[in-house]
């Protein structure tokens, strides 16, 4: 790859790093990335693909495909994953000396902890929503409804995956449910 092409690729790479730094973490108030941001990212992939085509490298696997109610928007978590994967791949292939997420260790740790907390909150909101929806399928007072209602209540205090599994098994056991029956009741199944 000639120096001019590598400089152009590096400019796109830097723009992707800027793009990810300006993209909010997914949360209750921000769940979708707008069509303009998605289109801009897709254009970057096209341009980068053209620059490295002679190297036999493609960026097509990083493309985003809209989902959900709006065909022009993409889930913000999917967007962040794709942009970060593109940055990582580009760094590995062309700029191994670069550290795309440099900063003081405390900053990196803080960002990681914030991201983990955000994912945990989103997961708990999702599980609560799914549990509530599924519980409506069963009659009030039924074992299934009791299981889902108790699970929904326990989700408010769960802090880890281990606690989630323990809670599911404890509630099922308390209600006399066998493992297959418990698995049938899981709202995300």
H helices of 1-56, in order, are 3-21, 35-52
Nearest alpha-carbon partner for 28 in 119, 112, 109, 114: 119
Q: Answer whether 66's CB lies under 8 Å from 72's CB.
A: yes
Q: CA of 90: how far to CAs of 48, 58, 123, 176, in Å?
A: 9, 11, 30, 54
Q: pLDDT truncated to tens, each residue of the chain (189 aa)?
A: 899 999 999 999 989 988 887 777 776 666 777 788 888 999 999 999 999 999 899 999 998 876 655 666 787 888 888 888 999 899 989 988 887 665 545 445 555 566 667 777 777 888 888 888 888 999 999 999 999 999 989 988 888 888 888 999 999 999 999 888 888 888 765
pTM, entire model = 0.52
In 3-state terms, what secondary structure has residue 121?
helix
Query: Residue 30: what pLDDT?
Result: 64
Q: How many helices (H) and strands (E) does the chain have?
A: 7, 2
Q: Which residues contact 155 (CB under 8 A, 6 or more apart)?
A: 124, 127, 128, 131, 164, 167
């Amino acid at each position: 790859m000639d120096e001019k092409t590598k400089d152009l690729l590096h400019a796109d790479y830097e723009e992707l790093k800027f793009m990810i730094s300006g993209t909010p973490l997914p949360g209750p108030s921000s769940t979708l990335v707008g069509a303009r941001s998605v289109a801009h990212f897709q254009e970057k992939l096209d341009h980068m693909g053209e620059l490295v085509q002679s190297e036999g490298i493609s960026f097509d696997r990083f493309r985003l495909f809209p989902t959900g109610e709006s065909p022009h928007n993409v889930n913000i978590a999917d967007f962040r994953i794709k942009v970060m994967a593109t940055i990582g791949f580009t760094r590995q292939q062309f700029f191994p000396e670069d550290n795309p997420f440099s900063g003081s260790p405390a900053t990196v740790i803080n960002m990681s902890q914030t991201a983990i907390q955000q994912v945990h909150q989103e997961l708990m909101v999702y599980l609560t929503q799914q549990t509530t929806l599924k519980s409506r399928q069963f009659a009030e007072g039924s074992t299934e409804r009791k299981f889902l209602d108790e699970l929904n209540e326990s989700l408010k205090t769960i802090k880890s995956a281990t606690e989630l599994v323990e809670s599911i098994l404890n509630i099922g056991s308390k209600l006399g449910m066998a493992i297959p029956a418990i698995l049938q009741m899981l709202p995300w199944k």
